[in-house]
Structure formats: structure tokens, C-alpha cells
Homo-oligomer: A and B are copies of this chain.
Amino acid sequence: MKAKLKSIEGSITAPKGFLASGVFCDIKRLGTGKGSNKGRKRDLALLVSETPAVAAGMFTTNQVCAAPVKVCIPRVAKGRAQAVVANSGNANACTGRQGMKDAIEMTRAAAAAFHLPAEQVLVASTGRIGVCLPMDNLRAGIRQASQLLGHGPEHAAEAAEAILTSDSRPKQVAVEFKLGGKTVRLGGICKGAGMIQPGMSMSGKRPAARQLHATMLCFLTTDAAIERAPLQAALQEAVAQSFNRVTVDGDMSTNDTVLILANGLAENAPLASVRAKEFQVFQAALNQVCLELARMIVRDGEGVTRMVTLRLSGARSYTDADAAVRAVANSALVKTSWCGGDPNWGRIIDALGYSAATVVEEKVDIGYSAPGAKKVIWSLRRGQPTGVSFKTLCQAAAPREFDLHIRLNLGRAGAILYAADLTEAYVDFNKGDVSNPASLGG
């Protein structure tokens, strides 16, 4: 079902009853000395619902997972939360017992400001791994953030800015739609850039026999009235089609987190189950918001100059489709060819061939199209070059965004993946500068 959605301003504060703020607490500048305001960046975001809300979440399936993720999982499982506190510049990952204490302390500090139980506050972090949080900075930041909360789009924008790490720009979306005659709003902010190949689940546990793969954080708000189970189901489905279908560099983070709060202030008839009449409308809206945010993450990935949407079909199973499409999207040689605008199908079929999927060379089709367009220029059909000129293929692979179509022609399963090129800028950024430890990324 395609929801009639209207894009609106304000992202996470667009839905009724949500307040946000984003402040400076100098986590990102640690080690570089303080004093001037030059280069100071917002690094603490706070999001609060005026009324109790239903909560759902999806978390990294990395076995090495950060303290804030460990704190959130059981809280989200209870299904209710009223606030989210998040910092950038430090992932609070691999920080042992102190890390757990600090993550809980963050939620306590935020809870105290609003006279909430700490369990009603969720927490997320992103940044360098293995360094304990500067808790004095965080306490001061949380205090300030709770005083600066507001409903306006400028407040949402500051929160969106405060969760960024190597991102070049904030990422915000909000939509408005009708649910049972009532106007409902749904908004979100997210961050990505590097260590981006999320594979999230509700419990942080991996599905058996399947390898999943940023730090990406996403916070969603809605004033829809919806119960816990359908909200979690809707989020799982939306994440499966969006954040879990992107890869920038193939590295899955220790901190990936998507959270949604639904406070019911739109006063629609509450969605009590996935079979509720209006559930598909909500699902469609959530899918679209998540996909839009996920694609922003790929476009703004570290050093990224091209976003490629891989559309693979004809695999024997979904497992095969996923393995094949990830092998292509994460191949260093395929990614560098995208960087050069080189329609090198040889590297693509090579990656298909070494993937865990069943692939038969003589059956493979490879082609290009404009984003979402139906007209495909095939470079390879049934394993053989089609004779389309190199110049034409170069034109197809030249745009900043294009679709790469792969047909295995062996079965009926398919998969989509939103991927990026690998550039010198990515290497330059991530090799860092050991003479300036503060320059080193997560």
C-alpha cells in the first residue's frame, strides 16, 4: 500500500508533543585543547516526548556491542520510553564495566531533568571505540540540553547536527499522512558516514547461519497511537528494507541503533495489531521515511562520490541473493571501478562467482539504468558481452547515482542493496594522522 505522504519540516519535532535539542559538550574536541570556539561541534542530542510513549528499537548484531546498546535492548523490550539521549565523538564501546555505568548514568542524568524513571530514557553513542566517556562533559551537556529543548524545526536540526561524526551534513525527514481520519506525523534524524553495513535485529542477536553486517544511529518519532507489538513489527520491516540494505564500507559497527517513540497524541484509533486496518498505511510511511534516511547515509558516506543501487534477481534463495549482492557491493575492485566510472562487468561477475551464492556464468545478465528507471542498458547477457559500446556503458556508469541490474536467472529470489564507491578520499580520511590522535576516527 502506497501511503499518501506529504513531506513536512521539522523531522523529530514535527509530530505533536516531541521536543529536541543539540548542544556542545566538547566530547569531539578532547585532546585538542579547549579555549577557542573554533571547530567546536555539537555532540549531545536530547529528544523528549511530553507524554509517555511506546518504544521499539533495532540494534547491531555485532557480537562486540557497545554499552549503550546493551542498556537499550532490555529497556526497549519493555516497550515504553519517553526520552533519548545520544552523544557523538565517543562510542562508549569496549569500555567494560565503566562503560555500562556511564551509559546508565547518561540516562539517569537525562531522567532527573524531567523527573522520569531512568528506565524511560534510551541512550546511544557514536565515535571512537575503546575510550571511556568524559562524564563531566556529558553531565554538563545533558543539563544544558534539557534546558534548551524546543518544539521548533531549529531544535530538531540541532539534534540532527549533534549526532554527526564524519557526516558532512545533517539528515532529517518528516512526513504527514492520514490514519483513520486523523492527521499523523512521523519524523526522523540519522547519521552514518563510515563503518556502515548495518545488520540489526530487535534483540541484537544474529539470526542463525546468516552473517549480517556503520555506526549508524537513527531516531524516529511519531504521534500515531500504536501498540508495542505492531510498532516493533513495523520497525523491523522498515529497517529490513532500508538500513539493513545499505553498505558504505562493509564494516558493521558495534553501535548501530534505530529507535522509535510513538506518543499517540494524534489521537487516531490505536493500531493494536499488524492486522489492524490502518497498519499498512503506517508501515508504508515508516518504510519510506527509513529508506529516505538510509539512502542519505549512503550518499553522505565517507569519501563517497557515487551511490549505486544494486537490484539482483533470479537467485535460488534469498540467502543467495543477499550473499551475491553483498559480494559485489563490497568488492574493492568493483567499488574502485565505480569511483572511476568504469563499467567493468568483469569485476562484477568475478565477485558473483566467489560469493557464497550459486552462480552460473552462462546465465548471468548485468545492466545499468537511471535510478528507478525501467529502461536497462545490458552490458552482459547470459554471460556474454552484448556488444553495447564501451562509450555507452561509460555514460550509464557515469552519473552520481545509477542502478546496477544483475539477473542470475536461476530462481525467483531477489535483493536490493544501496552501495557506494571506494575513493582516495575514503582512504585518506580513515588512515588518519597518528601524530594527532584526536584526528583518528572510530
A interface residues (Cβ-Cβ under 8 A, vs B)? 61-65, 91, 93-94, 96, 128-130, 194-195, 199, 211-213, 249-254, 330-333, 336-337, 339-342, 344-347, 349-356, 358-362, 364, 380, 383-385, 390, 394, 422-424, 426-428, 430-434, 437, 440-442
Contact = CB atoms under 8 A, between A and B. Distances in A.
A341 B251 CA distance: 19
A432 to B, nearest CB: 5
A434 B342 contact: yes
A104 to B, nearest CB: 18
Contacts of A355: 211
Contacts of A424: 424, 427-428
Contacts of A437: 390
Given A128-B346, A337-B432, A394-B434, A353 B423 contact: no
A33 B250 CA distance: 40
Contact of A333 (B65, B194, B344): B194
Nearest to A355: B211
Given A96-B383, A344-B440, A353-B254, A360 B63 contact: yes
Contacts of A347: 129, 195, 251, 442
A68 to B, nearest CB: 15
Main secondary structure of the interface of A (DSSP, over half): loop
For the complex formed by this chain, how many copies does it contain in all? 2
A96 B437 CA distance: 53
B346 A130 contact: yes
Contact of A353 (B63, B91, B332, B390): B63
A94 B361 contact: yes
A123 B356 CA distance: 27
